[in-house]
């Protein structure tokens, strides 16, 4: 092997290109795992709880988190090595995916809370209506007779 094929600058350049490719591949994979807008918007179910559960499932982002983590790890190493000419651009792309991920996680938590609250609310409403059956009718009948 010749000395020129092992030049540090050349090797560093190759490593930087590979690192950038790793970041971009992980970002592409993260974007690909984001839920489709239609999967979040168009949900079919027989009742409110079914809609909430379908929506919560559509908002599952475990794979997005894993790919984003890979992108961030490769980016941090490359940035510390000053391997990227456009580190700000890469960081902005990572931040954009991270922002969407944060929005999805927030929505998923809210949907989960609603999915827990709606059955309890239904039961409370049923109990309230059962408690008023007969009691209120007698009084209104007596008032109507007077």
pLDDT at 4: 55
Q: What is the pLDDT of residues 90-105, one digit of tens each?
A: 999 999 999 999 999 9
Please give the residue range of the domain that contains residue 80.
3-145
- List, in order, residues 6 or more apart from 94 with CB less than 8 Å away: 23, 27, 68, 71, 72, 75
Q: Which whole-number Å values give the CA distances from 137 to 134, 140, 142, in the listed order?
A: 5, 5, 9
Q: What is the pLDDT of residues 8-67, one digit of tens each?
A: 888 888 888 999 999 999 999 999 999 999 989 998 899 999 999 999 999 999 999 999
- Overall pTM surpassing 0.85 (yes/no): no
pLDDT greater than 90 at residue 117: yes
pLDDT at 11: 87
- List, in order, residues 6 or more apart from 34 with CB less than 8 Å away: 61, 64, 97, 100, 101, 104
How many domains is the chain partitioned into structurally?
Answer: 1
pLDDT at 145: 46
Looking at per-residue pLDDT, the higher value among 136 and 25 belongs to 25
């Amino acid at each position: 092997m010749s000395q020129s094929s092992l030049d540090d600058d050349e090797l560093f350049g190759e490593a930087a290109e590979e690192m950038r490719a790793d970041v971009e591949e992980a970002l592409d994979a993260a974007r690909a795992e984001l839920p489709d807008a239609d999967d979040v918007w168009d949900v079919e179910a027989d009742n409110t709880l079914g809609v909430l559960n379908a929506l919560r499932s559509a908002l599952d982002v475990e794979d997005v988190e894993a790919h984003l983590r890979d992108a961030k790890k490769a980016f941090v190493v490359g940035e510390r090595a000053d391997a990227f000419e456009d580190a700000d651009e890469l960081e902005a792309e990572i931040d954009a995916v991270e922002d969407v991920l944060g929005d999805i996680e927030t929505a998923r938590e809210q949907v989960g809370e609603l999915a827990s609250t709606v059955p309890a609310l239904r039961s409370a409403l049923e109990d309230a209506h059962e408690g008023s059956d007969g009691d209120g009718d007698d009084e209104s009948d007596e008032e109507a007779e007077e």
